[in-house]
Amino acid sequence: MNVESFNLDHRTVVAPYIRLADLKELPHGDVISKFDVRFTQPNVGHLEMDAVHSLEHLFAEHSRNHSGRVLDFSPMGCQTGFYLMLEGRWELEDVAELVAATLTDVVGADEVPAANEVQCGWGANHTLTGAQEVARTFLAARDEWSSVTA
């Protein structure tokens, strides 16, 4: 299939993990790295939508304090994780450092950025405490992030 994640056997992965999902070299030589940042086990668990939404806002804002190469942090429709898109080629350990630093910021945050009807399409659908709990759980499993399958 054309979509990389559709070719991934979701029964064989063991979340939480971070894995390189795609590496695109653009016509003029620029490179985009796309990472699968999986928080919950596919087809077993999922993140609540208000926590997903808040984590998306928090990560998008705080990750850029750690790197100017962050392009996007987008939730998966299955609510099990996010895609992190970065400019250039990245080593997994460097991505893990960026994710850890950003999630540490999330845990210490006192508000969800842009969680209002002026800056967000569903400003009422947020939970800071939910996003922080998801971040804490993922951070606590850091030793597992590089193992995608059992």
Q: How many CB atoms lie within 10 A of CB 139?
A: 16
Predicted confidence (pLDDT) per residue in 60-103, tens digit? 999 999 999 999 999 999 999 999 999 999 999 999 999 999 99
Domains of the chain and any CATH numbers: 14-144 (3.30.1360.80)
Give the HSE-up count for residue 126: Cα atoms under 13 Å, Cβ half-sphere.
20
What count of other Cβ atoms lies within 10 Å of the Cβ of residue 77? 7
Whether the per-residue pLDDT at 31 is higher than 90: the answer is yes
pTM: 0.96
Q: Is 120 helix (H, G, I), strand (E, B) or coil?
A: coil
Q: What percent of the chain has pLDDT over 70?
A: 100
